Amino acid sequence: MMTKRFFPTCAIAFSLLGAVACSSDDGDSQPAAPRADLTLKIFDLGELTNNAMYEGWIMVDGEPISTGKFDKLDVGGQKEFSVVEEDLEKATEFILTIEAPGDNDAIPSDTKILQGKFNGDVADVDTGIIADFSDSSGEFIIATPTDEDPDNEEKGIWFLNPNGGNPVAGLKLPTLSKGWKYEGWVVLAEDAPVTTGVFTKVDTRDEDSPFSKDVVAPPNFPGEDFLTGNSKGLNFPADADVRGKKVVISIEPFVDYDSENPFFIKPLVGTAGTETAPTVNTMELSITDLPSGKVTR
């Protein structure tokens, strides 16, 4: 049996001057650029939900280059990326962002969570790009100022200090970088944190009051009365006694990231007492588990 042989698709022409070799189909192609590994080793970086993604970026000649996306770290808090070697060698810093579900552009979002400059082959990264929370503190009262019923005061939380009738902000928090907002929460039942509202300033009302009444204008501070509506299987005001409940201030990524639970960075945490206003409750600083780590090239 004759063995089949496979020849190039182009013909080989012969002439009196000798054989003429055919040209390659991909003669104009360039070899792939050499690549190198970039390794993240990060502690206390929570898993994202609702299809949001983390995305790594290296800054090269002042321009961001994506290193890749992920929703959670691998075992041991690590993640590895394959990056063009020349870009990696020229990189001056690393930034980790949170990107909205479905994001497919080549531009970092404003929601930057970790950042660090390379010193040799290592960049130490932390959350300093968001804000410095080290001097934060919190106070709040238990009260329901949006109605005129004196017998339901245990149904609301407001982040203010009455200050003898001249209320002042109860929260001392830094201004967040673009891409982040604060949000208050009360854990009214097991695994049922209910929002008290999203805000950026501690001396103005928060952005929404879904559970408050509107008989009386609310104070010009973040807070919520749980007097109407429902959330997470709880009906208000029946299930809204805040006394003895955990109270949290979180930071929230301001992307299209609709989560019904606090983000994992919570700079202030407290527990509501048993006394309603004018008694003031305090919150403790909670920044020992902020994400941080190293990026190695």
Please tell me the distance from the alpha carbon of residue 251 to that of residue 166, in angstroms, as a whole number: 28
Q: Would you state the structure tokens that stand for residue 168, as one six-digit string?
A: 């002042």
| Global confidence as pTM | 0.87
User: C-alpha distances in angstroms, 33 versus 46, 62, 88, 93?
Assistant: 34, 21, 12, 21
CA nearest neighbour of 146 among 223, 234, 246: 223
Do 285 and 121 contact (CB within 8 A), yes or no?
no
Please tell me the distance from the alpha carbon of residue 179 to that of residue 127, in angstroms, as a whole number: 13
On the question of pLDDT at 64 being above 90, the answer is: yes
3-state secondary structure of 127: helix
Please tell me the distance from the alpha carbon of residue 56 to that of residue 70, in angstroms, as a whole number: 9
Do 36 and 83 contact (CB within 8 A), yes or no?
yes
CA nearest neighbour of 194 among 242, 160, 151: 242
pLDDT, tens only, 175-226: 999 999 999 999 999 999 999 999 999 999 999 999 999 999 999 999 999 9
Task: Tell me which of 20-24, 114-118, 178-182, 248-252 is least confident.
Answer: 20-24
